[in-house]
């Protein structure tokens, strides 16, 4: 008997097995979550298609389906840290948070990248007192490089593997 809406898929009484996946293996972990939620996929694109939109990653698909917790507790933690911690300490905290697989690390980055980059901006201003220097992509890239170095040391993962933008390491700073 065919599955409703998918005549090419037959209903059976077969019991399947989906192996466990550690959350550190992020995309496989999110793929596994989607396999439990989406009925009748016939290919991997079906698993990433949510309401007609093809997500770029399985993580994004899980977010769109509301399968992931929100990051309010991480947001509050970082807000509190900005009151008393140095930029270096905030980067260290953020690197630790990244290794716990927050649901939207890019959004956390966008919210706190200035706080994590304050010391780098200060150092550049000290080295170039005649220039008016504000936050810019080069400063944020240097912050991403330092974050990635911390994540590699903590969990042996690059920022891209964690759902963050990749730093450009060929830039000289």
pLDDT in tens, 137-155: 999 999 999 999 999 999 8
Q: What is the pLDDT of residue 14?
A: 61
**pLDDT tens-place string over residues 59-102:** 889 988 988 888 899 999 999 999 999 999 999 999 999 988 88
Residue in this structure with the two tokens 């019991």, named with its chain if needed: 15
Q: What is the pLDDT of residue 171?
A: 62
Q: Are 120 and 143 in contact (CB under 8 A)?
A: yes
DSSP 52: T
Q: Provide the greatest CA pair distance for the chain.
A: 77
Q: Are strands 49-50 and 2-3 parallel, antiparallel or unpaired?
A: unpaired
pLDDT at residue 172 tops 60: no
Q: How many angstroms separate the CA atoms of 74 and 66, rounded? A: 17
pTM metric for this prediction: 0.69
């Amino acid at each position: 008997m065919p599955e409703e809406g998918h005549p090419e898929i037959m209903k059976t009484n077969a019991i399947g097995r989906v192996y466990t996946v550690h959350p550190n293996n992020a995309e496989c972990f999110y793929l596994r979550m989607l396999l439990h939620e989406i009925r009748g996929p016939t290919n991997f694109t079906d698993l990433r298609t949510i309401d007609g939109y093809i997500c770029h990653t399985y993580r994004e698909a899980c977010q769109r389906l509301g399968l992931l917790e929100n990051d309010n507790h991480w947001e509050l933690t970082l807000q509190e840290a900005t009151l008393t911690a140095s930029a270096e300490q905030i980067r260290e905290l953020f690197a630790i948070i990244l290794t716990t697989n927050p649901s939207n690390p890019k959004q956390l980055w966008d919210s706190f990248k200035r706080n994590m980059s304050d010391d780098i901006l200060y150092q550049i201003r000290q080295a170039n007192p005649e220039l008016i220097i504000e936050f810019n992509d080069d400063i944020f890239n240097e912050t991403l490089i330092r974050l990635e170095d911390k994540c590699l040391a903590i969990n042996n993962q690059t920022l891209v593997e964690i759902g963050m933008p990749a730093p450009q390491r060929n830039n000289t700073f």
